[in-house]
Amino acid sequence: MDFPEISWRRALFSLFGFVLLLTCLHFQNVNAERFKVICPDQPVVAVLGEDAELSCHLSPVLSAKYMEVRWFRSSFNLVVHLYENGMDQNEDQIPEYRGRTELIRNYISCGIVSLRIHNIGPDDDGSYTCFFQSDTSYDDATLELKVVRLGSILSISVNDYQDRGIRILCESAGWYPEPEVSWRQEVGQSLIPASETELQRQNGLFNIKTSLLMRTNQYGKITCNIRNTVMNQERESAISIADIFYEWVCRWMVSLSMLLMLGIILCGSLVVLVIYHLRKEKESLHTELEFRRCCSYAVNVTLDPETAHPKLILSEDRKSVRNGGTKQNLLDNPQRFDLCCCILGYESFTSGRHYWEVEVGDKTDWDLGVCKDSVSRKDRITLKPKDGYWAVIHRDGDEYWACTSLETLLHLRVRLQIVGIFLDYEGGKVSFYNADNKSHLFTFTDTFTEKLWPYFSPYLKKDDKNDGALRIRSVQDWE
């Protein structure tokens, strides 16, 4: 008669085991929802104007699909991006990030998310916190975003004699963050202290002017070096001090000797002639130095096939364009010129200084210059500054004109083979040069407020045969 007692005990043990199993499962679920948020230890580096991706994930692996995921700056309420209830909730997003953020959640079921920030600016530099919250747990982690930009090509020049020496000036614009500036001599690469270094902020970026006052030529060749310490990239430019000293000393000695000798012999009228000669020589030297300064801002320009008139034929490297005389069957788009046989460069400019050269060769008709982004692509154009064009044209084989409001005839002694174009956006200048003899042709002065594009037109008169192409020179062609 023991069987009922044995059944009762078995039932009791079974009930106890079931309760124990439920308790273990409960604690396993509680433990399963405890997590940590992990972010990269190293700062995320983003180039100014491009996109940045900030990533974080859960440990251990958990699905965050129904969790709250919040990215914020220094305060919890300074929301950069908020994901909640399975969708983005950016009503309280701080204004400077509206329309610029995107939560990449391809792997959110594994607890991995990334925040993409578009069009990175200087103010985006700093700390970001990634915060996860479930029904029972929450955690966060912080990472650093470093915004960087490499500045323009260095411009190194000589600023005449000062304080019984010559001043070497080195300039560059558009750096972020504040770069490291140094001068070095060629032998041993030892440091030379700068005489003056001027740092300016413009639109959040750093512009640098640094100079050396040289009273001897003991250093030989001097190198100006500007380095972005975050990117660990640098730009540098060198100049030969010995050549400058000998060139200037010889010129002034010859000029002074001529002045004294002619002054003694002619005592009057010839002195005036010598002074005129010295002034012309100084102007010539100034023009050459100015041209060299422009060349220091050289950029590689290519042609944009999306803007080309259907009659234009481009080379494979997009450096050369000619007028084929017959329309091609090309896809129409808002950027393409329909009535005027012209094409724009692929690169545009909204700040800084830029220089490029175009080989025109023996071509008898062409237009060159820059234009505003807002010019009409579908109507006939008028090459005037008021219509958004700053250009020089060549017509009838021997006439050159600057397209001012009433057009200005350029009186040239030689035929142009290579045209240099220099844009100083902040200075409001577009200058043209004869790159063969380094002479100045014409300068437009205006105020620029929108994006500018290099402009080209291999003009071809009706019934004329193709008389050649326009070719953009690469920087390597004149280095």
pLDDT tens for each residue of 134-156: 999 999 999 999 999 999 999 88
478: in domain: no
Residues 365 and 229 in one domain: no
- Provide mean pLDDT across the span 391-407: 89
Q: What is the per-residue DSSP string for 251-297?
A: HHHHHHHHHHHHHHHHSSHHHHHHHHHHHHHHHHHHHHHHHHHHHTT
Last residue of a domain, one of 212, 240, 268: 240
The residue among 73, 204, 68 whose CA lies nearest residue 144 is 73
Place 311 in a pLDDT band, splitting at 50, 70 and 90. Answer: very high
CATH number of the domain encompassing residue 72: 2.60.40.10
In a domain, 399, yes or no: yes
Could you give the number of structural domains in the chain?
A: 3
Domain shared by 112 and 175, yes or no: no
Domain check: are 67 and 208 in the same one? Answer: no
- Secondary structure E strands in 373-417: 389-395, 399-402, 408-410
pLDDT of residue 257: 64
Domain of 329 in residue numbering reads as: 296-473
Query: 195 and 314 share a domain?
Result: no
Residue 200 domain flag: yes
> Are 318 and 457 within one domain?
yes
User: 312 and 182 in one domain?
Assistant: no
Question: Dihedral (C-alpha) 187, 188, 191, 194: value to the nearest 10 degrees?
Answer: 0
For 45-54, 304-313, 340-349, 465-474, which range has the lowest pLDDT when averaged over its residues?
Answer: 465-474
The answer on 300 and 235 residing in a single domain is no
State residue 409's pLDDT score.
93
d(CA 334, CA 342): 14
User: Is residue 401 domain-shared with residue 336, that is, in the same domain?
Assistant: yes
Shared domain for 204 and 319, answered yes or no, is no
Query: Which pLDDT belongs to residue 30?
Result: 40
Q: Output the domain CATH number for residue 446.
A: 2.60.120.920
Give residue-wise pLDDT tens across range 407-449.
999 989 889 999 999 999 999 999 999 999 999 999 999 999 9
**Does residue 265 sit within a domain?**
no
In a domain, 276, yes or no: no
Tell me, what's the pLDDT at 3? 42
Q: Looking at residue 460, what is its pLDDT?
A: 75
Higher pLDDT residue, 53 or 467? 53
Give yes or no for residue 188 having a pLDDT over 60. Answer: no
Mean pLDDT of 225-240: 89
**Is residue 335 predicted with pLDDT exceeding 70?**
yes
126 shares its domain with 231:
no
Q: Provide the percentage of residues in the chain whose pLDDT is more than 90.
A: 56
What pLDDT, on the 0 to 100 scale, is given for residue 1? 44
Q: Which residues contact 231 (CB under 8 A, 6 or more apart)?
A: 45, 148, 150
Q: Residues 144, 160: one domain?
A: no
Please check whether residue 13 lies inside any domain of the structure. Answer: no
Last residue of a domain, one of 104, 126, 148: 148
pLDDT at 21 over 80: no
pLDDT of residue 279: 66
Q: How far apart are CA 177 and CA 174, in angstroms?
A: 9
Of 117, 148, 179, which one is at a domain's C-terminal end?
Answer: 148
The two beta strands, 138-148 and 44-47, are parallel
Cα–Cα distance measured from residue 402 to residue 325, given in angstroms and rounded to the nearest whole number: 26
Q: Does any domain span residue 95? A: yes
Quickly state the pLDDT bin for 204 (edges 50, 70, 90). confident
Same domain, 132 and 215: no
Residue 26 within a domain: no
